[in-house]
Amino acid sequence: MFVVPVTVLVILIVFFFWVVVPLFILSLFFGFRYRFVGAEMGTEQVNKVMDGASDTAEDIKKNFTNNNNNNNGNNGNQ
């Protein structure tokens, strides 16, 4: 799990949006999980959203893997 202060996240997104967001999304598919800490308001809500995003990425990976395995098994039957 990678822990980042919310302030750092906001600064990175403001100045490096087109680099941070794609890398962030890609990292979710490689099993990274993020937790944001700090005295800022709303960190619990942000962490709930991040947990949901991580779970969604895992579900997409599982569905893709299952569909890919099913398609490979049917290649000779079509």
Domain of residue 36: give its range.
2-70
- pTM comes to 0.64
CB atoms within 10 A of CB 28: 20
Total of domains in the chain? 1
Residue 77 within any structural domain of the chain: no
pLDDT band at 50; cut points 50, 70, 90: confident
Residue 75 within any structural domain of the chain: no
**What pLDDT digit, counting tens, does each position of 12-40 carry?**
999 999 999 999 889 988 988 888 777 76
Residue 56 within any structural domain of the chain: yes
Cα separation of the two ends of the chain:
44
CB atoms within 10 A of CB 53: 15
Residue 76 within any structural domain of the chain: no
Residue 78 within any structural domain of the chain: no
